[in-house]
Amino acid sequence: MIQKSSIWNTAGIFFNYPTNEHYLLEMSREIDLAHTSLKQNLNQLINEGIIKEKVNKRGNRKYPVYKADTDSQAYRQAKRAYNITTLLDSGLIQHLDDSLMPKCIVLFGSYARGEDVEESDIDIFIECKEQTMDLARYEKALKRKIQLHFKKSFKDIPNEMKNSIINGIVLKGFLEAFK
């Protein structure tokens, strides 16, 4: 596994909580990083168009507040990479592959597009017979609910859902849309 850098951990705050506003001290404590290093990371993320900064005033003091720039293409691309890496690092996909031995595993929906927010779930299509899985450990690690969509054959899926799955990301196996 590749070691996570401080910039990756900093960006992770905005990827996991994209609708929240974040303060320097709060983030510094959350990822255990000196505020000077954190400030450098934040400036880099601002320059790359991943986050935005605004200044709030309280009395005579000014506080910088940071928020994810969810409308930017740079944010969505970086978040998509973060989501896939985090999902694979969690071990969930390997666990599903080992336990179910499916034809394919496809990540789709807002999580695959990098458009998910705190309340979003992770949609995963699994081409195999449905089985009950305990995913609590993975949901806690990923900070999202996980929805598994089982079908023995891709052709049995409603057309509306087929489009979403086809536009998703194949994480294991091969999705055979046409035979």
pLDDT at 20: 97
Q: Which run of H or of E encompasses 126? A: strand 121-127
Closest CA to 118 of 42, 30, 15: 15
CA distances from 136 to 133, 141, 145 (A): 9, 9, 8
Query: Tens of pLDDT along 160-169?
Result: 899 999 999 9
Mean pLDDT of 105-122: 97
pLDDT of 103 reads 96
Average pLDDT, the chain: 94
Query: Residue 57's pLDDT is what?
Result: 87
What are the pLDDT digits (tens) for 3-58?
A: 578 999 999 999 999 999 999 999 999 999 999 999 999 999 999 999 999 999 88
pLDDT of residue 177: 78
What whole-number percentage of the chain has pLDDT above 90?
87
pTM: 0.91
Binned at pLDDT 50, 70 and 90, residue 1 comes out as: very low
With 0-12 CB in 10 A as exposed, 13-18 as middle and 19+ as buried, what is 162?
middle
Which residues sit opposite 170 in a β-bridge? 106
